[in-house]
Amino acid sequence: TGTISSLQRQLEIQESQLRRCRSEKQMLQRELREREKELQALSAKFYSLGEEQEQAKMMVTMEKENRSLRQVVSELKSKRELQNELISELQGTVRRLQAEALSSQHQIRRQRREQEELQGRAETLQHRLLQTTVALESITSKATGLSTSLFFFLFYLKFERYRNKIIQATFRTAGTKPPQAELRDEEVLEALQ
């Protein structure tokens, strides 16, 4: 953005110089036309004079003025050529600055598109990471629940095996009667003691 504003400022400066040169060129052309009119007026004066002496004097004066006017005209022409060269240089600079500004705008638009794409990718990755984290936590909690349930289930199986062995050892000894109904844990403990 700074480059574009700098280029725009340079462009405005070059355009103002271009306008100034054009106005100077117009002023020089007006001055040239006025000098030509003066020359024509002097020529008309010369032809209107009737006497030879005055014509001779006027001729000398006209010659001097003609030389002076020719010099002024040649100076004005050289100035006009310089102004034309400056105008063409300024136009080239203006075109170059416009091209640079356009290129900078294209580059900024491309960088914005790339930034938006990267931001979209980052958001997608962040969303996937969140989903993965939630799934991992769910799997971890399920695995923890399963391992706890498995532990209690194995403990219960071992406990039942141990209980059955105690019952068999207690009621297989000589002089004991087998139980008539299902035994409670307290009854098994009393018989064992």
| Domain parsing of the chain, residue ranges | 7-145, 146-170+184-192
Q: Does position 187 have pLDDT exceeding 80, yes or no?
A: no
Compute the distance between CA of residue 97 and CA of residue 11 in angstroms, rounded to an integer: 6
* Amino acid making up residue 50: G
pLDDT of residue 113: 93
The answer to whether the CB of 163 falls within 8 A of the CB of 188 is yes
C-alpha pair distances (Å), 108 with each of 1, 2, 7, 112, 187: 8, 11, 15, 6, 88
| 1 band by pLDDT with thresholds 50, 70 and 90 | confident
| 5 band by pLDDT with thresholds 50, 70 and 90 | confident
Q: Give 42-76 pLDDT, tens digit per residue.
A: 777 766 655 666 667 777 888 888 888 889 888 88
The answer to whether the CB of 8 falls within 8 A of the CB of 104 is no
The answer to whether the CB of 58 falls within 8 A of the CB of 49 is yes
pLDDT of residue 177: 63
